[in-house]
Chains A and B, each alone.
Chain A
């Protein structure tokens, strides 16, 4: 049972890491977004320290969405999606594994890059730790929620923008609790654990529900 899923993970990982894949693009986009914010808001260290976690989170959200639009479309175009329907492996599991591989190839690099970019935004050690912890827990939820949008727009040519429109409102809870937990890490009225626990809960709920929603969309659109 695990062998087909391991094979799928390996394939998705390889495709993402090769030329034309989305692996490196997300990190570069993330870097660029974070780098241009000080040009817009001014180089005031106190201001950057205050809004730093929010900037990192918004950049991570946009970078994740940017990479997600081809998650299922590439498979639909080359015919792999039809073959997934013919496999004994349930489509829900295939979706879950594709999301896991996509997160490992594009989400995880964002988490690793975040502390270095946080230094550019005047973040203290505790704040850096908070941003890394919240991104580590929150970006899988972004990928999973985005997968629903990617599945729903699988037949739409140039569907990236439509997907972002569909998915962005759904990611608001992740953003709210991610940013508030990241900010609470460096001190504040709210304890770190309250928003962080809710963020964990959102990710677990996304893990349980999103593969079914995305697979249902793929089944419906495949017919």
Chain B
């Protein structure tokens, strides 16, 4: 006679985060773009959101970042510090870079590292190290406005590295990047997952993350 012993539930280890999205619905302009969407993502995992234009990829990312009101459902990052909201643990990178043309690349990143990482975290990189990762050290002192489109995107990606936040919300992160930069960024994303981070990326192109989960949003309707 055997008795089924339920597996002991592991208490959440400190730093083992889990992104739980439950029945998320979002309206945009009166249209239900996301309808009762549920998924969950564990620390170290990446989720690739795919789907045709207008399927709600960007809407999902903005809703996760708290930039759009939810019509229903819940979004939570379980296992993190209890007094910190999800948006404050997330990096959001969309089509705009969030960097000022008049300031140098270095000044821009220095600002975001101080503004977005209020608690010092050993997983945050220095501005110099982040620029090294995206191969922009040679233009660190140049005004952001004079960079090429690909270099601007790389500078924006460096923002993710100067202030460690566990959840990366990336909307088409590879736009304008060449092959070498894509490979470097794939490496940075794998590093982030190895540090216990989570990535939700909306993209049409392969990100170079083999073990990533995929969420296909259907066309509208």
Contact = CB atoms under 8 A, between A and B. Distances in A.
B106 to A, nearest CB: 12
Interface residues of A, number: 28
Interface in A44-94: 74, 77-80, 82-83, 85-89
Interface in A1-60: 1, 3-4, 6-8, 10-11, 14-15, 18-21
Q: Which of A19, A80, A85, A86 has the most CB of B within 10 A?
A: A86
Interface string A194-214: 000000000000000000000
B123 interface: no
Contact of A86 (B65, B69, B97, B110): B65
Contact of B87 (A20, A21, A86): A86
Given A10-B111, A79-B96, A222-B67, A15 B116 contact: no
B87 A85 contact: yes
Contacts of A19: 102
Contacts of A89: 115, 118
Interface in B95-131: 95-103, 107, 110-112, 114-116, 118
B92 A3 contact: no
B67 A11 contact: no
Q: Report the interface size class on chain B.
A: 20 to 34
A88 B87 CA distance: 9
B211 to A, nearest CB: 27
Contact of A88 (B88, B97, B98, B99): B88
Contacts of B90: 86
A82 B115 contact: no
Nearest to B65: A86
A115 to B, nearest CB: 30
A223 B115 CA distance: 22
A7 B87 CA distance: 20
B111 A7 contact: yes
Contacts of B84: 88
Contacts of B102: 14-15, 18-21
B196 interface: no
B16 interface: no
B188 to A, nearest CB: 19
B66 interface: yes
B88 A86 contact: yes
Closest 8 CB pairs of A and B: A79-B96, A7-B114, A18-B102, A79-B98, A11-B111, A4-B115, A86-B87, A80-B98
15 contacts: A4-B115, A15-B100, A18-B103, A78-B97, A78-B101, A83-B98, A83-B116, A85-B65, A86-B67, A86-B90, A86-B92, A86-B116, A88-B84, A89-B115, A222-B67
